[in-house]
Amino acid sequence: GERVGLGSPSAAGAAAAPSAAALSAAMGAMAAKHVNQMAFCPPNPTYRKEDVNMWLDTDRGNRIPAFHIRRGFPLTVLVSHANAEDLGLVLQYWAYMSQQLQVDVFAYEYSGYGHATGSPCEANLYSDARAALKILVDGFGLKPERDIVVFGKSLGSCPTCYLAGKHAFRGVVVCSGLASGARVLFPETRVWALDAQFFNNLGSLASCKSPTQLVHGDCDETIPFSNAQDLYAVCRAHHPLPPGWITGGSHNDIESRHRDAFLAILKEFLAHILAAGPTRVMPPSGISAVLKSVGSSVSSSAKALWSCTAPPRSQPAHDM
């Protein structure tokens, strides 16, 4: 038979390495499976369905609870929560943060979480965020570039970056965020084809022109710190203050063990954007153009403040 040498055509064919596209697809499929398993971990509901008096209907046919803490402050923080939380835990924490930061707060549930209908997935996550923004704009008359700061922790960084890539906001805060689903699993594998497959915060934040503040613990064991550095690289031109790197901070202790540093970062950023004035809206990225295809509707009781009669005592779990 033919003897195959290293330099022969047969050897070249036999030993040919997988193409870059094939390798990317294989890694992407493996990453997608594991990231989705990590990404969505709905806890048992920590609030009662009968305590919810604000419901949003999304453009993907789901119905999600929301709450609005209105105290008359000039800025409203639109909160996208982490993956092991629901609104009962978020309400307890952000009622405290509302007073500390002197902001109004609007938070919404994810499809498949708490008492929301549907199932958790990336497409529903973005649909839920669109419904939340729509009620703030159409129902409460807020102007995103003047009145709204979007905030996302961990998994919540994904709908936050998604919105920030499409609209002008007064400010954007990403806490313990991921650069992309792929870079959570493969921090040193910086392949744009992989980034684009799921949870592509890099691509979204690269399109953001709003003032942005990153916060991340440099000892984060869940979302490697390199993810924050990668995000900073794409939004640096619109990051007016130093990044909020928390020395010794892990994924779950920024709001507790490092609370003072965390609050100081947020207060400095909010003071900066209040002094700077509204964010300039560049046509055609006005909110009406962006949201005209969104078909979500809101119940007549949407302007009511939802509160739990007995807020849960447990501490929020800040996993991804």
Q: Given the residues 86, 220, 230, 319, select the one marked as catalytic.
A: 220
Is residue 111 within 8 Å of 127, Cβ to Cβ? yes
Is residue 220 within 8 Å of 251, Cβ to Cβ? yes
Q: What are phi and psi of 107, to 5 degrees?
A: -135, 150
Q: Give strand pairing partners of 80.
A: 152
Tell me, what's the pLDDT at 27?
Answer: 60
Tell me, what's the pLDDT at 196?
Answer: 58
Distance of CA 183 to the CA centre of its chain: 15
pLDDT in tens, 173-198: 999 999 887 677 777 777 666 765 78
Is residue 28 within 8 Å of 185, Cβ to Cβ? no
Q: Does 266 have pLDDT greater than 60? A: yes
Q: Given the residues 24, 98, 111, 154, select the one marked as catalytic.
A: 154
Tell me, what's the pLDDT at 16?
Answer: 53
Measured distance CA(165)–CA(129) in Å, rounded: 13
Tell me, what's the pLDDT at 174?
Answer: 98
Q: First-to-last CA distance in the chain?
A: 57
Choice between 240 and 39, residue whose per-residue pLDDT is larger: 240
**Residue 220 falls in the annotated catalytic set:** yes
pLDDT in tens, 222-238: 988 999 999 999 999 99
Q: Given the residues 81, 216, 251, 318, select the one marked as catalytic.
A: 251
Tell me, what's the pLDDT at 74?
Answer: 98
Tell me, what's the pLDDT at 26?
Answer: 63
Tell me, what's the pLDDT at 5?
Answer: 36
Q: What are phi and psi of 125, to 5 degrees?
A: -60, -45
Name which of 26-40, 104-118, 130-144 the model is least confident about. 26-40
Which pTM does this prediction carry? 0.79
**Residue 251 falls in the annotated catalytic set:** yes
Find, among 188, 146, 154, the residue nearest to 174 by Cα. Answer: 154
Residue 1: exposure state from Cβ atoms within 10 A (0-12, 13-18, ≥19): exposed
DSSP summary character for residue 218: T
Measured distance CA(38)–CA(183) in Å, rounded: 13
Tell me, what's the pLDDT at 24?
Answer: 62
Q: Does 130 have pLDDT greater than 70? A: yes
pLDDT-derived band at 314 (thresholds 50, 70, 90) equals: very low
Q: Does 297 have pLDDT greater than 50? A: no
Q: Does 286 have pLDDT greater than 70? A: no
Tell me, what's the pLDDT at 70?
Answer: 96
Average pLDDT (187-216) is 84
pLDDT-derived band at 291 (thresholds 50, 70, 90) equals: low
**Residue 154 falls in the annotated catalytic set:** yes
pLDDT-derived band at 199 (thresholds 50, 70, 90) equals: confident
pLDDT in tens, 131-173: 999 999 999 999 999 999 999 999 999 999 999 999 999 999 9
What is the chain's mean pLDDT, rounded? Answer: 83
Measured distance CA(82)–CA(286) in Å, rounded: 28
Q: Does 72 have pLDDT greater than 70? A: yes
